[in-house]
Amino acid sequence: MSIKLNGNLITLSTKNTSYQMKFDDLGYLFHTWYGERIEDSDDMSYRISSID
């Protein structure tokens, strides 16, 4: 298992899966991805939509 930190992006990866979290500007933790393995540098936070 690998753990990669890239600024406010945290990616945990196993042989087949990845789990990714990201801190926003206010310090809230968002769970951005769990599933098929992704590259450590891929930022999946584009999948999050905000509600005003």
Query: How does pLDDT run across 12-46, given as a tens digit for each residue?
Result: 999 999 999 999 999 999 999 999 999 877 888 87
Count of other CB atoms within 10 angstroms of residue 28? 8
Distances 22 to 19, 51 between C-alpha atoms, Å: 11, 18
Output the pLDDT for position 14: 96
- Give the per-residue pLDDT at 9: 93
Residue 6 near residue 41, CB atoms below 8 Å: yes
Q: In the prediction, which pLDDT does 46 show?
A: 79
Taking the C-alpha atoms of residue 43 and residue 35, their distance in angstroms, rounded to an integer, is: 14
Q: Determine the pLDDT at residue 22.
A: 94
Torsion angles phi and psi, residue 12, rounded to 5 = -105, 130
pLDDT given for residue 19 in this prediction? 97
The residue extents of the domains of the chain are 2-45
